[in-house]
Structure 1
Amino acid sequence: MSNQSINLNDKFAKFSAHWTPKVIAEINDYQFKLAKIKDEFVWHTHYDTDEMFMVIKGSMIIKLRDGDVLLNEGEMYVVPKDVEHKPFAEQECHIMMIEPRGTVNTGDSDSVLTAVNDVWI
């Protein structure tokens, strides 16, 4: 246990790759993950969990089959489990996600964008 606060800007400065979530904290079985995103991701579904996206810097779109959700800095959206979605950012966007430990970033999709899990920074 640390008595240090977590500075999001410092954490974002530690990596540059897009679509590679990094764990910065845990509470119970949930992880707080940071990611830099840009361009298209893959359509995917998480069958066992909801997924929360919060924009820290920039803007993004979460494409859903029945419409899109635009998120700007300071906004968040929860994708319910079983809902197919596809994140997208025209310009680099910094996001935080909260999801259960072990959640695969590409859900049910087999993709070259599948990231290694539990990478802490």
Structure 2
Amino acid sequence: MDLSTVNIRQKFDLFTDQWKPHIIGELNGQQVKLAKLQGSFVWHSHEHEDEYFQVFKGTLFMEFRDKTEVVKEGEMIIVPKGVEHNPYTKPNEEVWVLLFEPASTQHTGEVEHERTHNDQQWI
């Protein structure tokens, strides 16, 4: 096990692709991931996994079927398993998020989409 610290801001500097999470850590079957987001994602849910989103930069909008939650820099939101959601950003704003989810989580749940990335890499 690697006992060294991880500088999250430096890790964000290592990639530019959007909507593709990059793994920076693992613990207890959970993966810690970073992603850069811009625009709208895709409606999806995860049948067996909760998802944790923490915003490092920008403002994330988490759309649910009955409401939209605004998640600002320094804030977090947990999407419970089975809840359909669609994260999106302001059109011209890139948002940086940290994600916590079980390693078995499929990126877009059961939905196949051009933004589906189940081949996430460590950085």
TM-score range, shorter chain: over 0.9
Equivalenced residues, count:
121
User: Is 1:103 the equivalent of 2:101?
Assistant: no
- TM-score scaled by length of structure 1: 0.96
Letter in 1 for 2:118: V
Q: Partner amino acid for 2:7? A: N
TM-score (norm 2): 0.94
Following the alignment from structure 1 to structure 2, what is the Cα–Cα distance between the partners of residues 108 and 19?
17
Rounded Cα–Cα distance in structure 1 between residues aligned with 2:17 and 2:120: 16
What RMSD, in angstroms, separates the aligned Cα atoms of the two structures?
0.9
User: Which runs of 5 or more residues in structure 1 are unaligned?
Assistant: none
The runs of at least 4 consecutive aligned structure 1 residues that moved more than 3 Å come to none
Superposed, 1:37-48 pairs within 5 Å as 37-48=37-48
Unaligned runs of 5+ in 2: none
Counting only pairs closer than 5 Å after superposition, residues 23-62 of structure 1 correspond to structure 2 as 23-62=23-62
Q: What residue identity is the alignment partner of 1:116?
A: N
Mean CA deviation greater in 33-42 or 97-106: 97-106
Query: Separation in 1 of the partners of 2:18 and 2:107?
Result: 12
Which residue of the partner structure matches residue 94 of structure 2?
92
Higher strand fraction (1 or 2) = 1
Q: In the alignment, is the contact (CA less than 8 A) between 1:102 and 1:118 conserved in 2?
A: no
Question: Which string of whole-angstrom CA distances, capped at 9 and with x for unpartnered residues, describes residues 68-102 of structure 1?
Answer: 01000110011111110000011100000100002
1:28 positional shift: 1.2
